[in-house]
Chains A and B, each alone.
Chain A
Amino acid sequence: MTTSLDEPAGMISEPPLKVRPVRRPGRWVATALVAILVALLIRTLITNPNYEWSIVAKYMTNEAILKGLLVTIEISAISMGVGIVLGTILALMRLSPNPILSSTSWAYIWFFRGTPLLVQLIFWFNLSALYPSLSLGIPFGPTLVSGSANDFITPFTAAILGLSLNEGAYMSEIVRAGILSVDQGQHEAARSIGMSTSKVMRRIVLPQAMRVIIPPTGNQAIGMLKTSSLVSVISLADLLYSAEIIYASTYQTVPLLIVASLWYLIVCSIMMPCQYYIERHYSKGSTRELPPTPVQRVLAFLRRHRLTQRKAVP
């Protein structure tokens, strides 16, 4: 090869060189080990009779379980929605130059992040012990609506209160991080075309902040789905609690826990692609060209495959 510079003509007649990739024996060993472990796991799942898969299959579509699933989805979705709105308000308060607003927000976050959610849930459920009657009216003025706290605080409302007030504290930090991630120049440019502060937030800053806000919010939403199972302590019949009620009488603990877990997994698997597409929506303009979605990638692969096949036929 050292002579190739001196003999350019000789290079041309040389046959093309073969490239031999690096050998990676370690990878083969690791692959074999993992394959064995997976095979063992699958074998025990199938052969161990204690899993009682027939019971799992039977209860997957049990009416109580499905009702519980609906409750789980309902309280998770409502609490997450309220949490996001509350979090945005708290974040804006926290960033406000008004010291009363920002310190109120700080204190809220301090309290709700600093006490266990389980305690908060039980607290809201027992609110009537603290305030036997609740009323809605003008402060220091006439009362408009009033009633017993026991009527208002059902397990459902206590669950929503506990989960969403707690979620608001976490979401506010996520929204605040998003707002702070937007360059100061964006605020200035928006103000320079005459936008009011609220419009700057709504039209320029928040849509850009969403790119930073969405991934941790997805985390929170998936977390909320499972954290909501804590409401079984205030005897709200969510997915887990419904499973518990069943196995309390049938003693089929493991299969029913599997039923609940499978449903949590299924809902979670539906949520993940949703997050992907929401993220994509808000990343408009963030890169020169967005990478293709997994679906687009598969379609492109199929198209390429079909084209090459067609070419090969004639």
Chain B
Amino acid sequence: MTALVSATNVCKYYGAHKVLDNVTLEVRHGEVVCLIGPSGAGKSTFLRCINHLEKINSGYLEVAGKLVGYKREGSILRELNEREASKQRIDIGMVFQNFNLFPHRTALENVTEGPIHVKGIDRPEAEKRARELLDRMGLGAKSKSYPRQLSGGQQQRVAIARALAMDPKVMLFDEPTSALDPELVGEVLDSMRDLAGQGMTMIIVTHEMKFAREVADMVVFMDDGAVVETGVPDALLEDPEHHRTKTFLSRVH
């Protein structure tokens, strides 16, 4: 099977500081990949590059066979304009650490915003689908609530529904449970587990090692902007090859 997301020697700098150092990674269709590593390792930055919220300085990043943010025309890499780049993002769902729900819209309106105003789907149809998604997230009764009336866990599940409403090919999760109270983490992880079970391709930046082990097909350990080690969860989390992975895991376990 071909790779759905593939990164080849991706580098990114903030000024002189190298935040991504030759990151190469392939994620196949239906695969769940967890990115782990200490803070400042570049995990979130890499995720944001996949969605073209950040530009990369060198290397190639492809989603579903298309370069992210660029178009190859012969020997020239042409940067996509804002409209073309926005169109690409439709296929890539993203869930943020701080939820970033639209506070002036109800849960239902948050979910229908994209389908109606980006995809141009009729309101009744978009609402029907949004209700289904909210039901699936266990939030059927909360569709009329505003984000500030919801708990953190509920907000994050609305955010997942909002991303799913665009029918993305891949879902990116940027530390989706880091801003949650410990007792609310479980409900969000459950929703993500269901999603993985339904065959969604997911790339997850997380500190939840137990969840990574249970759900991931592949775990990637990053440090200092580079991929240090990649492997199946049991092997990588139980018996890492690299000493940096060992030190990190001993600290989080």
Contact = CB atoms under 8 A, between A and B. Distances in A.
Nearest to A211: B104
B98 A194 contact: no
A196 interface: yes
Interface in B116-169: 117-119, 146-149, 159, 162-163, 165-166
The SS class assigned to the A binding surface is helix
Interface stretch (B33-41, B89-97, B208-216): B89-97
A190 to B, nearest CB: 8
A285 B117 CA distance: 20
Contact of B162 (A185, A188, A193, A285): A193
B148 A208 contact: no
B86 interface: yes
Contacts of B51: 192
Contacts of A188: 53, 94, 96, 100
Contact of B86 (A196, A203, A207, A285): A196
B105 interface: yes
B32 interface: no
A65 B169 CA distance: 68
Contacts of A183: 100
Interface string B33-58: 00000000000000000010100000
B114 interface: yes
Nearest to B116: A203
Instruction: Name the interface size band of chain A.
Output: 20 to 34
Nearest to A287: B148
With most chain A CB atoms within 10 A of its CB, the pick from B51, B98, B100 is: B100
A207 B109 CA distance: 14
Interface residues of B, number: 34
A285 B96 contact: no
Interface in A192-206: 192-197, 199, 203-204
Contact of A194 (B105, B114, B146): B114
A304 interface: no
Nearest to A207: B104
Interface in A111-149: none
Interface string A203-241: 110011000000000000000000000000000000000
Given A188-B96, A192-B89, A199-B117, A286 B166 contact: no
B197 interface: no
A311 to B, nearest CB: 34
Interface string B75-103: 00000001100110110111010101111
A284 B105 CA distance: 8
A193 B163 contact: yes
13 contacts: A183-B100, A186-B102, A189-B96, A190-B102, A192-B51, A192-B89, A193-B165, A194-B119, A195-B86, A195-B114, A208-B102, A284-B104, A286-B148
